[in-house]
């Protein structure tokens, strides 16, 4: 596997074609592992760029509240959120990690990703906390809420957030499946406020990019019922998008 980041960054050059392109010689021994590393590096760079912009948006617009993440596999975006919150000195923000910590639930819809099967994409709760403590930012402000969403996101849990006036500043919805996304959107509705930012990671993933299947379908149904409107905000790679929550008075 090529350990260099030479082919994962756009490099300008002062002649045609004006950007450096890997050629046949460069890619002669390119492997499947190189492809995976290439894709992941580019994707995570774009996600981090989003979180940098998202927290700038929140602080500049004085949106107070907490960070929610639904689907925390490998704790990548959760650590991005912690880092950017610290850069913006958000000492009062709380960080909630909602995950089964057992992988995906039983799959009821028909995603095009063959790897999206029951138990896939598992990060154990112990591993989550190991990575959070190793990261070393706002550890005491983090909380895990374990369980499959259909069973765990109850009205009682929702009321416990409302009782403490725990509103959402930024929610990362990375739950892959239609059947997982539906209870998430139902749960967050009363926790939203004007200016809440929703980042939907899998808007065009897992169902051949269809806007009428998967998480995109769940979000479209949610918009029909919600008292809020959602303005498209930042396109994140080819797979996701953020939305600004607002009221149309």
Q: Where are the domains of the chain?
A: 47-246
Cα distances from 43 to residues 16, 36, 113, 144, 188, in angstroms, run 26, 10, 17, 25, 26
Q: Quick check: pTM over 0.85?
A: yes
CATH entry 2.70.98.40 includes domain 47-246? no
Q: What is d(CA 38, CA 60) in angstroms, rounded to the nearest whole number?
A: 33
Per residue in 138-154, pLDDT (tens digit) is 999 999 999 999 999 99
- Per-residue pLDDT, 8: 53
Could you give the strand order of the β-sheet that contains 168-173, starting from the edge strand earlier in sequence?
Answer: 142-146, 95-99, 66-70, 168-173, 197-200, 240-246, 229-236
- Per-residue pLDDT, 113: 77
Per residue in 236-245, pLDDT (tens digit) is 999 999 999 9
- Per-residue pLDDT, 119: 73
- Per-residue pLDDT, 117: 87
Per residue in 42-58, pLDDT (tens digit) is 999 999 999 999 999 99
Concatenating the DSSP letter of every residue in 124-183 gives -HHHHHHHHHHHTSSGGGEEEEES-HHHHS-HHHHHHHHHTT--EEEEEE---SHHHHHH
Structure tokens belonging to residue 14? 């002062």
Angle at 146 between CA 140 and CA 148, to 5 degrees: 155
């Amino acid at each position: 596997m090529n350990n260099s980041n030479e082919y994962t960054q756009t490099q300008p050059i002062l002649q045609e074609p004006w950007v450096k392109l890997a050629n046949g010689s460069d890619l002669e021994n390119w492997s499947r592992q190189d492809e995976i590393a290439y894709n992941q590096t580019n994707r995570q760079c774009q996600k981090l760029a989003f979180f940098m912009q998202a927290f700038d948006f929140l602080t500049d617009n004085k949106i107070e509240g907490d960070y929610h993440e639904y689907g925390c596999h490998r704790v990548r975006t959760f650590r991005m959120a912690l880092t950017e919150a610290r850069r913006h000195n958000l000492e009062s923000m709380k960080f909630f990690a909602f995950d089964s910590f057992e992988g995906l639930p039983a799959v009821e819809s028909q995603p095009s990703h063959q790897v999206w099967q029951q138990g896939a994409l598992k990060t154990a709760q112990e591993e989550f906390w190991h990575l959070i403590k190793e990261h070393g930012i706002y550890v005491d402000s983090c909380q895990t809420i374990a369980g499959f969403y259909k069973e765990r996101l109850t009205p009682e849990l929702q009321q416990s957030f409302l009782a403490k006036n725990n509103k959402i500043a930024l929610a990362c919805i990375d739950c892959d499946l239609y059947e997982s996304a539906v209870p998430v959107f139902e749960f967050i509705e009363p926790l939203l406020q004007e200016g809440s930012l929703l980042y939907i990671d899998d808007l065009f993933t897992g169902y051949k990019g269809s806007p009428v299947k998967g998480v995109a379908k769940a979000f479209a149904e949610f918009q029909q019922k919600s008292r809020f409107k959602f303005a498209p905000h930042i396109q994140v790679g080819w797979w996701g998008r953020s939305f600004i929550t607002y009221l149309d008075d």
